[in-house]
Amino acid sequence: MNLTLANASYLINEQLKLAYYDSDAVSDKPVVVLLHGYCGSSAYFSRLAPLLESSYRLLIPDLIGHGASTADTKPVYNLQEQAAWLAGWLQATGVQQAHVFGHSLGGYITLALAEHKPALLQSFGLLHSTALADSEQSQKNRELAVQTIEEQGVRAFVEGLIPKLIAADHPQRDELLRYGIEIGYQTAAEAAIGFARGMKERPARLSVIEQATLPVLLVAGAKDGVISNEATFSGRQASTHCQTIEEAGHMGMLEEPEQMAAILQQFIGKQ
């Protein structure tokens, strides 16, 4: 499997290139944007994309410093700024509105996009993510991540991270671990550090879900050891669509792609 799906690029500025996958640039199908998690790439959706692209135009970026995208030199990657860059990319790509779904870190960016650029969205969703801010322990873990990357490098950090993301009893665990680790190796150290600090500093965005006038989807993995189901479903209101994938850990789009695809298609189809 590829380590990035990217087949196009967009210049954010003179220093930053955003690589992305576009399933059909001339399509008039509904647009679905998928944002991957920390130390991942568009390849996190390599099993999901083939199940969706007959129905939707898929736009899947490699976040800054991940996959084939260039890294920023800033010490902190502010997530609101990342969302603004993605909004500029979508508009430059000719997208007027899209369904945006973010995995983990991608979910935090999705919430910032929904808060500051809601007119770009037809709906949005969090996949194994949360609108809560980091707990005190999570903030300490971000600093430990920075320390590990600075002292031992990205490869050592990724080798410790990825095993936490796949359900311990998943039948394809070994294969998915190797794949996730190889993807993670493509992350620039500056990006791994910058995003760790950006996630540590991000505010809670529960109100984005609680007060949403757009359709909202929240997807959790029953075996997720990184973000609890309770955290994923925080902020839900009566109209929020909540789904749990029973056999998934933190990587439902790789662990159980057919179930994830069915959830997304059902959610979009209701609108």
pLDDT digits (tens, 9 = 90+) for 193-218: 999 999 999 999 999 999 999 999 99
The arithmetic mean of pLDDT across residues 29-47, rounded, is: 97
The domain total for the chain is 1
Range of the domain at 76: 8-269
Residue 143 covered by a domain: yes
Cα distance between residue 7 and residue 20, in whole Å: 6
Classify residue 119: in a domain, yes or no. yes
Q: Is residue 44 part of a domain?
A: yes
Nearest in space to 86 (alpha carbons), one of 31, 154, 28, 146: 31
| DSSP strands (E only) in the chain | 8-11, 17-22, 31-35, 57-61, 98-103, 121-127, 216-221, 241-245
Quote the pLDDT of residue 1.
63
User: pLDDT tens digits, residue range 124-139?
Assistant: 999 999 999 999 999 9
Q: Does 188 map to a domain?
A: yes
CATH number of the domain that 265 lies in? 3.40.50.1820
The reported pLDDT for the residue numbered 3 is: 80
CA dihedral sign of residues 168, 170, 172, 176:
negative
Residue in the structure block whose two tokens are 């700024």: 81
Average pLDDT, the chain: 96
Tell me the mean pLDDT in the region 99-115: 98
pLDDT band at 17 (very low <50, low <70, confident <90, very high): very high
pLDDT band at residue 27 using 50, 70 and 90 as cut-offs: confident
Q: Which of 78, 118, 84 is nearest to 207 (CA)?
A: 118
| 49 lies in some domain | yes
Q: pLDDT (tens digit, 9 = 90+) per residue, 245-263? A: 999 999 999 999 999 999 9
Backbone angles phi, psi at 215, to 5 degrees: -65, 140
Tell me the mean pLDDT in the region 40-61. 97
For 231, other C-beta atoms within 10 Å of its C-beta total: 18
pLDDT (0 to 100) of residue 40? 98
Contact between residue 41 and residue 183 where contact means Cβ atoms under 8 Å apart? yes
Half-sphere exposure of 114 (CA within 13 A, CB side): 30
The residue whose two tokens read 């509904």 is 30
Q: Is residue 2 a part of any domain in this protein?
A: no
Residue-wise pLDDT for 55-77, tens only, equals: 999 999 999 999 999 999 999 99
**Has residue 3 been placed in a domain?**
no
Task: Please indicate, yes or no, if residue 131 is contained in any of the structural domains.
Answer: yes
Residue 167's region, left for phi above 0, alpha for psi from -120 to 50, else beta, is beta
Residue 86 confidence (pLDDT): 98
**pLDDT surpasses 90 at 49:** yes
**Per DSSP, what are the bridge partners of residue 245?**
221
